[in-house]
């Protein structure tokens, strides 16, 4: 019998009652490994009501106890890292190393959540006026929600609910319906760590369940990671319903290569950053902009990428896995064909990729284009596959123009031996996350994930200090205490403190 993915509602895993079933398939074989039922309206309501009730007591739990919960949770995640990675491999197809990395980057956020006492500190000033003090407290919002994508089924949920819950909120998590089992395992460990009943809820489903979150009056804030169109929809709909929203959307990340860079470092970086994780990363490098004589390296880059081969996670020599679904594979292949028709030179074509023993897998081989222009669809669209577009410009100023004219601003990097070039690039580029001789500049969680422009809709970003601000409100108190023998003056008819 096919495994049924359960919801996690009101402190327990419950068998779904809905009849709208979505198959969870192994993307290397198309075998159905589980079925996930979309949460019914009554299940959604029960989850939200449970979170609302739990908030009344959870917000009063001392911040040090909330920190210790996160310490225990981080410890369990480390103990079970391999178990979680195995689930990721089976339902998403990542290689073992990549899946473990997915879990580890989430663990780092939980460790930061364990630092919540210092992050929740307010401010104080004594004697703002005579015998009057002002101080502020940081307090939780209430019920918050997260909507997460398929490509990082451990890391991105762990971006969200640990920080929100550490701040004193309760949380509704709606993970991707394409790989929902990973989150259920994480929720199981959260319970083992001592999470109280109702603090975390996990409901499964698709658009109908997302809409329920967007419209429910008891949900105060929503975190989202996913595609551009969905991100825009969630931001507009959520804010129309007067909710706080952070929506991380699409990307088109550029690496600028200066001719003074170390060639082998550039090649190694481009191989991993372009086709790693089958290109299914919002911080993948999908465009390489070669400046001046560095363009001579393009054939060597293509040759190095051509040595990479996809495969199943049980193959230790596989560099990356399949696309998540046949539909995703078909979209990538159609964009590759579009690139050829538009006049780009396909110097490495992975369209006809096959993996021995797995004829039904969603395979796309590493693909490299040269002579790409900004008018082409392979440049304008986020391909989300193992496809690298290369361009050639004459100067750093031209490279900056290419990057800054892009509607996206998630991540970028520059490879150079020149401090002056690096300083100019980091200062002038209109992108939120910049790497210098680092291809994928995802910050560690004591900083925040700071995409710009069309890659992010909202005001406060994920994890780090900005996450604390997103999941909390500031209450400011101005106080004066009178001595018994104080001289009582007449009424103050102005706004001035005195």
**Enzyme catalytic residues:** 282
How many residues belong to the chain?
Answer: 498
Q: Over 255-272, what HEC string results? A: EEECCCCCHHHHHHHHHH
Strand 7-9 vs strand 408-409: parallel, antiparallel, or unpaired? Answer: unpaired
Q: For residue 168, give Cα distances in angstroms to 117, 138, 187, 343.
A: 11, 10, 17, 55
Q: Which two tokens stand for residue 274?
A: 């372009």
Phi and psi at 400, nearest 5°, equal: -60, -40
Coil/strand/helix, residue 75: helix
Between CA 199 and CA 423 the distance in angstroms is 45
Angle at 324 between CA 178 and CA 309, to 5 degrees: 155
Q: For residue 332, give Cα distances in angstroms to 117, 198, 335, 349.
A: 45, 41, 5, 12
Between CA 83 and CA 76 the distance in angstroms is 11
Q: For residue 449, give Cα distances in angstroms to 157, 165, 283, 367, 463.
A: 14, 19, 11, 28, 7
Residue position matching structure tokens 């709208």:
20
Taking a C-beta distance cutoff of 8 angstroms, is the pair 30, 360 a contact? yes
Between CA 125 and CA 134 the distance in angstroms is 5
Closest CA to 475 of 124, 226, 45: 124
Strand 244-248 vs strand 219-225: parallel, antiparallel, or unpaired? Answer: parallel
Taking a C-beta distance cutoff of 8 angstroms, is the pair 146, 117 a contact? no
Between CA 451 and CA 431 the distance in angstroms is 7
Q: How many CB atoms lie within 10 A of CB 12?
A: 10
Between CA 182 and CA 32 the distance in angstroms is 16
């Amino acid at each position: 019998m096919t495994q049924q993915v359960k919801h996690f509602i009101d402190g327990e895993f419950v068998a779904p009652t809905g009849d709208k079933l979505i198959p969870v398939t192994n993307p290397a074989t198309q075998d159905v490994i589980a079925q996930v039922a979309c949460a019914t309206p009554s299940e959604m309501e029960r989850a939200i009501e449970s979170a609302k009730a739990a908030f009344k007591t959870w917000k009063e739990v001392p911040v040090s106890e909330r920190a210790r919960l996160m310490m225990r949770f981080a410890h369990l995640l480390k103990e079970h890292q391999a178990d979680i990675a195995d689930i990721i491999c089976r339902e998403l197809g990542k290689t073992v190393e990549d899946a473990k990395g997915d879990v580890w980057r989430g663990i780092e956020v939980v460790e930061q959540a364990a630092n919540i006492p210092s992050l929740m500190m307010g401010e104080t000033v004594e004697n703002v006026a005579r015998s009057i003090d002002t101080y502020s407290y940081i307090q939780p919002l209430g019920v918050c929600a997260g909507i997460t994508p398929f490509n990082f089924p451990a890391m991105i949920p762990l971006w969200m609910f640990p920080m929100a819950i550490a701040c004193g909120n309760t949380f509704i998590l709606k993970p991707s319906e394409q790989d929902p089992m990973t989150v259920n395992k994480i929720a199981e460990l959260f319970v083992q760590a001592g999470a109280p009943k109702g603090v975390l809820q996990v409901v499964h489903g698709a658009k109908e369940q997302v809409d329920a979150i967007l419209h429910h009056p008891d949900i105060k804030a929503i975190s989202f990671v996913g595609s551009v169109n969905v991100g825009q929809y969630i931001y507009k709909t959520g804010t129309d319903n007067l909710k706080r929203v952070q929506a991380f959307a699409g990307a088109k990340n550029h690496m600028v290569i200066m001719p003074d860079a170390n060639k082998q470092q550039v090649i190694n970086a481009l191989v991993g950053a372009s086709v790693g994780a089958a290109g299914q990363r919002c911080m993948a490098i999908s465009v390489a902009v070669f400046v001046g004589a560095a363009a001579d390296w393009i054939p060597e880059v293509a040759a190095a990428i051509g040595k990479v081969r996809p495969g199943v996670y049980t193959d230790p020599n596989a560099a990356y896995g399949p696309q998540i679904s046949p539909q995703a594979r078909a979209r990538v292949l159609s964009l590759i064909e579009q690139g050829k028709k538009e006049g780009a030179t396909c110097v490495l074509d992975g369209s006809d990729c096959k993996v021995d023993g797995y004829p039904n897998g969603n395979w796309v081989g590493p693909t490299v284009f040269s002579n790409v222009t900004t008018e082409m669809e392979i440049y304008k669209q986020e391909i989300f596959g193992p496809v690298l577009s290369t361009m050639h410009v004459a100067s750093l100023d031209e490279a900056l123009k290419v990057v800054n004219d892009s509607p996206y601003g998630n991540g970028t990097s520059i490879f150079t031996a020149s401090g002056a070039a690096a300083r100019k690039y980091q200062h002038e580029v209109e992108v939120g996350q910049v790497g210098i001789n680092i291809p994928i500049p995802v910050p560690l969680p004591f900083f925040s994930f700071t995409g710009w422009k069309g890659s992010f809709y909202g005001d406060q970003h994920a994890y780090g200090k900005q996450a604390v601000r997103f999941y909390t409100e500031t209450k400011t108190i101005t106080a004066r205490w009178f001595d018994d023998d104080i001289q009582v003056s007449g009424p103050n008819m102005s706004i001035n403190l005195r």
